[in-house]
Amino acid sequence: MQVNNRPFLIWLIWLGLIEGTSTLVLFLVAMPLKYGYDMPMAVSVVGPIHGVLFLGLIAMFWIGRSEVPLSTKLMWWGMVGAVVPLMPFFIDVKLYELLKQDSESGT
């Protein structure tokens, strides 16, 4: 598959990494601080940041369907993957393979 918009695909990969990391920070740092150490401020800060990143990732997968173009299957896997913890990292592997495949094809 030929990638028409490599910069968009690179941004999508980066946003997937950042959103996946924000999920881990929320679950492994902020929530234990809230429930284990009575520090609800951690979730109050990290939660909205993660929410914006999540919505951005969903939007970028939707837009990426026509911009990159992503296959419909990959777009839906990316959107579902944004909901499932750790899944953005696995989707990013597929996106990176697409980017690498495009680089090797000489474009």
pTM over 0.85: yes
Q: Distance between CA 72 and CA 75 in Å, rounded?
A: 5
Beta carbons within 10 angstroms of residue 6's beta carbon: 14
Q: How many CA atoms lie within 13 A of 27 on its CB side?
A: 9
Please write down the long-range contacts of 72-80, taking CB distance under 8 Å and 24 or more positions apart.
74/98, 78/12, 78/16
* The two three-digit tokens of residue 106, written as one number: 């000489």
Along the 107 residues of the chain, how does pLDDT read in single tens digits? 688 899 999 999 999 999 999 999 999 999 999 999 999 999 999 999 999 999 999 999 999 999 999 999 999 999 999 999 899 999 999 999 999 988 887 65
Q: Which of 93, 82, 78 is nearest to 20 (CA)?
A: 82
